[in-house]
Amino acid sequence: MSIDKETARRVAHLARIRVEEDQLEALAGEFNAILKFVEQLNEVDVEGVEPMTAVMPMRLKRRKDEVTDGGYPEKILANAPDAREGFFAVPKVVE
């Protein structure tokens, strides 16, 4: 794929970037260099390579999924400026 001067103009317009007419040819050249690099990446054989989430292989620490606190809604609702029937009451937002 090759980017010409007209395509560079359109990309600059879509990106809302003002590019002077004499700079469009250089911009098209930069776009072509980027696309050439991406094409080189497509040539790399990645068959059987696991995707990486970090540079160092490590497992995240996990904890048991269990309730460790709670059971006292009265204490929590005591901090609320307005609580009704065991819930926080908030002002109506939508009519």
Domain that includes residue 22, residue range: 5-42
CA 8 – CA 32 distance, rounded (Å): 10
List, for residues 47-89, the tens digit of each pLDDT value.
988 888 778 877 888 888 887 777 888 888 998 999 999 899 9
- CATH number for position 17: 1.10.20
What pLDDT does residue 93 have?
87
Is 18 inside any structural domain?
yes
Domain count, the chain: 1
Confidence of residue 5 (pLDDT cuts 50, 70, 90): very high
List, for residues 13-58, the tens digit of each pLDDT value.
999 999 999 999 999 999 999 999 999 988 999 898 888 877 887 7
* pTM summary value: 0.50
